[in-house]
Structure 1
Amino acid sequence: MENRKYLDELNVAVRVVHMACSLCEKVQKQLLSATTDQVKSKDDDSLVTVADWSVQATVSWMLSESFGRQKTSIVAEEDIQTLSKPESSSLLAMVVDAVNGCLAEAPRYGLRGPEKPLCASQILDAISQCNSTGGPLGRHWILDPVDGTLGFVRGDQYAVGLAMIDEGEVVLGVLGCPNYPLKDDELNNYSQQNIVTSKISSGELGCVMYTSKGSGKAWMQPLVQVGKKLEGTNSAKLVQVSSIEDPESATFCEPVERTNSNHSFTAGVATTVGVRKKPLRVYSMVKYAAIARGDAEIYMRFARSGYKEKIWDHAAGVLIVQEAGGVVTDAGGRPLDFSRGIYLEGVDRGIIACSGIKLHGKIINAVYSSWESSNL
């Protein structure tokens, strides 16, 4: 990495995300094999699982241990409101087990875990410590413990996203994608069944992508296999965006969920610009990973009116795409602003990520022409 300023932070972040992915895989296997109360409904009707709380506790504890609790500001999605209720005691016990099981594995990833297992109050404290609101001053870690929770509970795509903002700019991005096929073009062919079965038969699923601002490089490591140790940077290879510039040959991604995205407008833009292929509907920031690795060329996201994008849904993925050679802006062509708290304020209509500047320009032009004829 050319940018050595954040080398220690990136080194720890990559290892911690590997740990988090391992935790998620274990919880997902339990979830798919049994009906338990591991899934609770949040007030906003989205799903939250044992994995969300456990990853947040694990990452929070590891970052605080590595860089000092007083110096560690973390912006993250989950709070302990549900988990602290007396009726959630069995759920909390599962979180405690998952966290301690993960932390005990820290030496496999080149990190130091606690001397003895953490108690429930320590774990609740670690989750609660992620109460920063970010902003333009200082350093803030941005965590999405399980991005794409619906994909997670269905055995489909999801991601662990960890980024760092320094003085309002995203400077580090780490994205763990436990169900991402390692072979090129396999994302097009996946289904829930072959994700679950191929994981058992081939082990060719799962990676961690990472980068630092200004490095001009993004890296990918396969997930650590059971019983193995993380080999540091030896297992990493460079990823780069696709060189396709013609919309007719391009693959485009969009969110699966209709609740906060407008599929019909996206389809109109795709038609206007000449995209021929059907959209690749993918849960989570795996869409950014697909652009960075060259499996797709376009990602369009147009939220429904009133929906505000949160920084943890984008920070890690955006930087990885940019350093892999791609372009990410709002639909007006302006850079995304991660310096204004937990929301991406001032987003013009939507978010556009592309593999290159020419393709990006064509999409932006198509957005303008489609917008005027739409009723949005």
Structure 2
Amino acid sequence: MEKDGKMIGVFSEAEEYSSELDIAVRAVQLACSLCQKMQDTLSKSRSKDQVPTMDDNFPVTVAVWSVKAIVSWILSECLGGENISILAEEDVHQTLSNNNASELLKSVVKTVNECLAEAPRFGVEEPKSPLGTSELLEIISKFNTVGSPSGRFWALDPLDGTFGFVGGDQYAVALSLIEDGEVVLGVLGCPNYPMRKDWLSYQSSYQRIMSKLNPSNSETWNKGCVIYAKRGNGKAWIQPLLHTNKKFMWPNSAKPVSVPSNEDPVLATFCETFENANSNHSFTEGLAHSVGLSDQPLRVHSMVKYAAIACGDAEVFMKFARAGQKEKIWDHAAGVIIIQEAGGMVTDAGGDPLDFTNGSCLEGLDRGIVACAGATLHEKIIDSVDASWASSCL
């Protein structure tokens, strides 16, 4: 892997986790490049009036496995002296080794090799020869951990916000490093994140129209970013996704981001999950009203909600899962550390830190998750949860 001078990004090379963060950002940049191409292909394959559905699952599945393979390959190649363990949803090796998965495996191998051929643009050496099926299966065997309260492992969400991806809307690629039960770095790739706050609430079709009227080039940055942070630095950073045919030069126009200073509920923007199945909208609506959040909620797919707070485009995110649902750590780890280092707060609904020590789930989660730009708003919401919970039926 190339190193551009004596600095790794915006951090000194000697700083703890700087090398890991550098590698993780490059991996997410490359993964986002792949996802952008696949989302464009998926959109073009549909007729003008065709409604996106989850029947578009084959290209989605190819994208998921391809991102997993690419991230695993880059981490293994660039941190070769370490025993790389990665936590992610599903047993990838069993899925791709299945006798009925030959077409899927073939497509993943082709997609991964095409993507890794562009690795030098991101400062990573490409494989000496194209990967075969056995090599691909060996690479994804790194997804071999169930999480642990001790030791080090990576957590990956290769395609957070599948409905957003299928519909040409918001989605994210999230990678975090967890050590002894604590998130020590997080990288969040948001390929469709708009660089203008007022675009974030637009429907995806209108965003695409506006993007065509304001096309990106080497001098502009209209959408798509990677946001990252590491433990104890007190800052989070944002950089644009790499333009086609451009070479990644660290830190790639990175600039610091911070949570908004506004703590007035009347002026605050409140984010929540898009699908009502993932969170109780009626409860969060009542909670928002009781706190004084007067604007309509901004419903956004994926961990982009965490990005919106870290970038100063929103103040609040609340999620209260329905009975029986458990939150997965890969759905939150990267976003949590980014908001915290950007100056915000993320806790459960009891005000306690999220617990990443118990495997793949956030065990012991008190009712839900509350992320805020500041302590005043956070305290009001926590108090309101306590006052409203008995009648919530959750």
Q: TM-score range by the shorter chain?
A: over 0.9
Match of 1:103 in 2: 116
Match of 1:132 in 2: 145
After TM superposition, list the pairs within 5 Å mapping 1:332-371 onto structure 2: 332-371=350-389
How high is the TM-score relative to the length of structure 2?
A: 0.90
1:156 matched to 2:169: yes
User: Residue type of the partner of 1:125?
Assistant: E
Q: Distance in 2 between matches of 1:180 and 1:357?
A: 26
Query: What SS does the corresponding residue of 1:370 show, helix, strand or coil?
Result: helix
- The equivalent position to 1:238 in structure 2, one of 250, 256, 259, is 256
- The equivalent position to 1:89 in structure 2, one of 91, 94, 102, is 102
Q: How far does residue 196 in structure 1 lie from its aligned partner after superposition?
A: 3.4
Q: How far does residue 243 in structure 1 lie from its aligned partner after superposition?
A: 0.8
User: Residue type of the partner of 2:101?
Assistant: S
Cα distance change on mapping 1:223 and 1:329 into 2, 3 Å: same
Q: Distance in 2 between matches of 1:196 and 1:88?
A: 34
- More divergent stretch after superposition (120-129 vs 293-302): 120-129
Match of 1:294 in 2: 312
Alignment check: 8 A CA contact 1:39 1:50 kept: no
Alignment check: 8 A CA contact 2:199 2:207 kept: no
- The equivalent position to 1:194 in structure 2, one of 189, 206, 211, is 206
Q: How far does residue 336 in structure 1 lie from its aligned partner after superposition?
A: 0.2
Cα distance change on mapping 1:164 and 1:86 into 2, 3 Å: same
Match of 1:30 in 2: 41
How high is the TM-score relative to the length of structure 1?
A: 0.94
Identity of aligned residues (%): 58
1:114 matched to 2:133: no
User: Residue type of the partner of 1:151?
Assistant: G
Calculate the aligned-residue CA RMSD, in Å. 1.9
User: Residue type of the partner of 1:11?
Assistant: D
Q: How far does residue 165 in structure 1 lie from its aligned partner after superposition?
A: 0.6
Q: Distance in 1 between matches of 2:301 and 2:335?
A: 13
User: Residue type of the partner of 1:128?
Assistant: S
Cα distance change on mapping 1:54 and 1:33 into 2, 3 Å: same
1:56 matched to 2:74: no
Match of 2:293 in 1: 275
Q: How far does residue 214 in structure 1 lie from its aligned partner after superposition?
A: 0.4
Alignment check: 8 A CA contact 2:191 2:224 kept: yes
Q: How far does residue 67 in structure 1 lie from its aligned partner after superposition?
A: 1.2
1:8 matched to 2:19: yes
Q: How far does residue 185 in structure 1 lie from its aligned partner after superposition?
A: 3.2
Alignment check: 8 A CA contact 1:245 1:356 kept: yes
Q: Flag as ranges the 4+ runs of structure 1 deviating above 6 A.
A: none
Q: Distance in 2 between matches of 1:14 and 1:374?
A: 40
Q: Residues 95-131 of structure 1: CA distance to partner in whole angstroms, max 9, x if unpaired?
A: 1121111111111011112111111222223223212
Cα distance change on mapping 1:12 and 1:270 into 2, 3 Å: same
Match of 1:248 in 2: 266
- More divergent stretch after superposition (190-199 vs 219-228): 190-199
Q: Distance in 2 between matches of 1:254 and 1:370?
A: 18
Match of 1:171 in 2: 184
Alignment check: 8 A CA contact 1:179 1:195 kept: no
User: Residue type of the partner of 1:250?
Assistant: A
Q: Distance in 1 between matches of 2:115 and 2:289?
A: 46
Cα distance change on mapping 1:38 and 1:222 into 2, 3 Å: farther
Q: Residues 67-94 of structure 1: CA distance to partner in whole angstroms, max 9, x if unpaired?
A: 1276111111242444333443232222
- The equivalent position to 1:68 in structure 2, one of 80, 104, 119, is 80
1:182 matched to 2:195: yes
Unaligned runs of 5+ in 1: 42-46
- More divergent stretch after superposition (31-40 vs 251-260): 31-40
Cα distance change on mapping 1:234 and 1:178 into 2, 3 Å: closer
Query: What SS does the corresponding residue of 1:294 show, helix, strand or coil?
Result: coil
Cα distance change on mapping 1:234 and 1:81 into 2, 3 Å: closer
Q: Distance in 1 between matches of 2:253 and 2:385?
A: 40
Q: Distance in 1 between matches of 2:179 and 2:162?
A: 28
Q: Distance in 1 between matches of 2:359 and 2:388?
A: 31
Cα distance change on mapping 1:37 and 1:181 into 2, 3 Å: closer
Q: Distance in 2 between matches of 1:198 and 1:118?
A: 39
In the alignment of these two chains, the number of paired residues is 370
Cα distance change on mapping 1:38 and 1:17 into 2, 3 Å: farther
Q: Distance in 2 between matches of 1:87 and 1:33?
A: 28
Cα distance change on mapping 1:4 and 1:213 into 2, 3 Å: same
Q: How far does residue 50 in structure 1 lie from its aligned partner after superposition?
A: 1.2
Alignment check: 8 A CA contact 2:84 2:142 kept: no
Q: How far does residue 138 in structure 1 lie from its aligned partner after superposition?
A: 1.1
Unaligned runs of 5+ in 2: 1-10, 47-52, 217-221
